[in-house]
Amino acid sequence: MVQAVKYNEQTASSKETAIDPNAVNILIVDDLPEKILVYRTILEDLQHNLIVAQSGEEALKLVLKHEFAVILLDVNMPGVDGFETATLIRSRKKSAKTPIIFLTAFNDEFNIAQGYASGAVDYLPTPVVPEVLKAKVKIFIELFQMRQQAAAQAEERAKREAAEESDRRKDEFLAILAHELRNPLAPLQNALNLLKISDLKPDMAAMAHKMMNRQLQHMVRLVDDLMDVSRITRGKIDLHMENVSLTDVIESAVETARPLINEKNHTIEIEATGKPVLVRADFVRLSQVFSNLLNNAAKYMDHNGLITVAIEPSNNYVLVHIKDTGIGIAPEKLPTVFDLFTQVDSSLTRSEGGLGIGLTLVKSLVEMQKGIVEARSDGLNSGSTFTVTLPITKQKNNVTPFKGHAATQTKKPLRILIVDDNQDSAQTLGWMLEMEGHQVYLKFNGPDAIEMARQISPEVVLLDIGLPDMNGYEVCRIMQEQLHLTEAVFIAQTGWGQEEHRRRSKEAGFHHHLVKPVAATDLYAIVNAR
């Protein structure tokens, strides 16, 4: 059914809601109601929206709000006439190509020429011939619908191509993830087989242990990166902003990246400024940014490469340049180098490809701390430079010093209850704590753990969250209701490290939340502080 809408300021909102969104819009502009009635009568069986304006000003407002297949425009109107209205319609990008048909009783050559000069596609004398008007309007409607269909098809094609590209990148990422996670498993399995040999030489056993630790740390970093990306994309990262020394941050990052740098026999040179530079940042997260960039530089260089770290203060900002002599970045890769799952070199000949999320983390964490990061390279085999720009803080008080990784000192033996349904995990963790001189008790479910706690009154309780039947939150709450456990330290150990799970741990009564695999230094620090 045709929708005929008269526009005016007071009733525009209520009347425009009657427009059929599935029909095409036709704008009729004329100051005479009797002529509008004629045009509506002629065009109503086209079954489209006939929208009416009685002045050039009303027409211009409607053109800003709606898209029209064709505009029927009277030439002689008070105020802004048809020629001026057409010129203004054509001057707006949105309506520049909307077909305009002039309707007028003045059909001399001068007016016709002026009409075409104003942007008209046709010029009809009045009174109009109904069949001619209807036929012309119908043609423009069909052209409009064809353009809409073509645009919809193009949009659908673009969406399909984007979905296919997303699927391709997802499949590629899953393949890379499987490859990266399998890589450490082979040397770990080989080392375990070596350690079964009864007459294995001590130096070879020491090398095997060192290699196993290195491969395990590699797997932990992969999982940590995945979790960080998940938290960032969901807005779950909380930064602890404070005034920190940039030199201390970089020192911490170098210490983190040192094993890979040493493994590949790279040289690292730090060109620090003579003056201390303070930035407002999260120390741990900013250190993660630079350690990721240093690891990235170390991975994409052959052995005996050079990494240069230069600190360059500039007015209210400081630039940190990390330059390497590695494989470089191809020009076509530079625009997407920070995109999720992007590989600088995804060829199978490269064994250091990673998951393609390290640089995405870098960009997200830098921007969260009001900085920017850029990548530059002169092309393949020309090295690359990553520059992080951060605002300098002028406040010199309350600077957080870098404490390094201080060794822990074992205190008096403690009664420690470990509760985990993964018996291998519980047993190996127990061995670690027994080696520190503590008395360790193991249980593998909630009810047994609660009974054991009643008997031994543990001073430290290590609780897995994902226990069968009764989860760790429930076990913790029940234990804390027992008076003899009011002084015990409760430590949650779990594979879940998101803020939501840390919050739930705190609400359940846990004093600490450690993510598996639990770092020995973190665990010893908590236990020895008891």
CB 385 within 8 A of CB 322: yes
Q: What is the pLDDT of residue 16?
A: 42
Considering only 33-37, 304-308, 403-407, 410-414, which range has the smallest mean pLDDT?
403-407
Considering only 29-38, 88-97, 173-182, which range has the smallest mean pLDDT?
173-182
3-class secondary structure, 420: coil
Considering only 6-15, 377-386, 410-419, 483-492, which range has the smallest mean pLDDT?
6-15
CB within 8 Å of 279: residues ≥ 6 apart: 243, 244, 246, 249, 286, 318, 369, 390, 391, 392, 393
| 288: confidence class by pLDDT, cuts 50, 70, 90 | confident
| 204: confidence class by pLDDT, cuts 50, 70, 90 | confident
Which residues, listed in sequence order, are joined to residue 389 by a DSSP beta bridge?
A: 319, 372
Of 454, 291, 301, the C-alpha closest to 359 is 291
Considering only 96-105, 406-415, 431-440, 507-516, which range has the smallest mean pLDDT?
406-415
Cis peptide, bond prior to residue 33, ω within 30 of zero: no
Q: Which amino acid would we find at residue 121?
A: V
Give the largest Cα separation in the chain, rounded: 112
pTM of the predicted model as reported, rounded to 2 decimal places: 0.48
Q: What is the pLDDT of residue 8?
A: 46
The yes-or-no verdict on residue 29 having pLDDT over 90 is yes
Distance between CA atoms of residues 365 and 204, nearest Å:
41
Helix or strand run (H / E) with residue 243? strand 242-245
Considering only 171-180, 324-333, 370-379, which range has the smallest mean pLDDT?
171-180
The yes-or-no verdict on residue 457 having pLDDT over 90 is yes
Tokens describing residue 503: 């919050």
| 452: confidence class by pLDDT, cuts 50, 70, 90 | very high
Distance between CA atoms of residues 248 and 244, nearest Å:
8
CB within 8 Å of 196: residues ≥ 6 apart: none
Residue that wins the pLDDT comparison between 64 and 17: 64
Distance between CA atoms of residues 427 and 119, nearest Å:
84
Q: What is the mean pLDDT of residues 342-368?
A: 66
Q: What is the pLDDT of residue 42?
A: 92
Q: What is the pLDDT of residue 307?
A: 96
Angle between helix 33-43 and helix 130-195 axes, rounded to 10 deg? 60
Q: What is the pLDDT of residue 180?
A: 63
Tokens describing residue 150: 């073509």
User: Where is mean pLDDT largest: 99-103, 164-168, 189-193?
Assistant: 99-103
Q: What is the mean pLDDT of residues 114-134?
A: 81
| 407: confidence class by pLDDT, cuts 50, 70, 90 | very low
Which residues, listed in sequence order, are joined to residue 439 by a DSSP beta bridge?
A: 415
The yes-or-no verdict on residue 146 having pLDDT over 50 is yes
The label of the residue with tokens 């690292």 reads 268
The yes-or-no verdict on residue 113 having pLDDT over 90 is no
Tokens describing residue 216: 């395990």
